[in-house]
Amino acid sequence: MKFNRIAEKAKQALDRRGGMDALKEDLQEVKEAATGRGSFRDKARAAAEAIKTPGKNPEPGAPADPPQPRTPPTA
C-alpha cells in the first residue's frame, strides 16, 4: 500500500473543506447534534446536515466562499 498517497489524498480532502479550523467547527456541530435532544434518527439527520457544508454553517445573507480550484493528482 502506498501510505503516502493515502495521506496526500486525506490532506487534499481536508484542504478542500477548509482546513483544520473548518474540521474543528464541523466536529463541534456534530457533537452538538449528538448531545442534543431528540431521537437517534433526529440526531443522525442533524449530524448529517452539519457536515454537508464545511466549517460553521454560514449566517443567513452572508456571501458564500468561492469554490476552491481542484489540483490534478500527482503521479
Closest CA to 27 of 57, 50, 11, 9: 50
Provide mean pLDDT across the span 41-45. Answer: 91
- Is residue 71 very low, low, confident or very high in pLDDT (cuts 50, 70, 90)? low
* Mean pLDDT of the residues in the chain: 79
- Name the amino acid, one letter, at 19: G
The model's pTM is 0.56
**Exposed/middle/buried for residue 59 (C-beta within 10 Å: 0-12, 13-18, 19+):** exposed
Q: What is the pLDDT of residue 6?
A: 93
Which three cell numbers, joined as nine digits, stand for 48?
448529517
CA 29 centroid distance within chain? 10
The residue that leads in pLDDT, 21 or 68, is 21
The CA distance from 69 to 52, in Å, is 19
Question: What distance, in Å, lies between the first and last C-alpha atoms of the chain?
Answer: 15
